[in-house]
Amino acid sequence: MDKIKKICLAFILGGSLILPCACAKSNSSASNKEKEIWHGSNLFSPYPSHSCYEPLKPDRDDSAGSYMIYRKQLDTYRTCIDTYVRNAKSDISEIESKANSALRQYNNFVRMP
């Protein structure tokens, strides 16, 4: 994606008239890794984290039955994470599609006849 498209997409997704759409804000006592990024969003709330539960790992001296239960719980955990990631990617795809549609609509409107 070229620079102009990225800026337009950031503008549409950010909903801000101030460019750039994201800027770093740092606390004087915070390290570089702790910097917060402030940006606009069309989401009404933060994107949800997954709600999957990690199984408890059995101890080395636990029975074979404990390991079988752990493996089943691990499969459930993996399935939950896979579902979350698949749904998140689908959300991203839907957002990109709507942003591209809005950009096309804008470009068609402002195009000189």
pLDDT for 27-41, tens place per residue? 444 444 445 555 788
- The whole domain housing 4 covers 1-42
Does residue 28 sit in the same domain as residue 54?
Answer: no
Q: Look up residue 73 and give its two tokens.
A: 């719980």
Does residue 5 sit in the same domain as residue 22?
Answer: yes
Find the mean pLDDT for residues 81-98: 97
pTM given for the model? 0.60
Does residue 89 sit in the same domain as residue 57?
Answer: yes
Structure confidence at residue 87 as a pLDDT band (50, 70, 90) = very high
User: How large a percentage of the chain has pLDDT more than 70?
Assistant: 66
Q: What is the mean pLDDT of the chain?
A: 77
Does residue 27 sit in the same domain as residue 75?
Answer: no
Does residue 55 sit in the same domain as residue 37?
Answer: no
Does residue 60 sit in the same domain as residue 87?
Answer: yes
Does residue 3 sit in the same domain as residue 22?
Answer: yes
Does residue 59 sit in the same domain as residue 77?
Answer: yes
For residue 22, what are the β-bridge partners? Answer: 39
With a cut of 90, say whether residue 49 has pLDDT above it. yes
How many structural domains does the chain have?
2
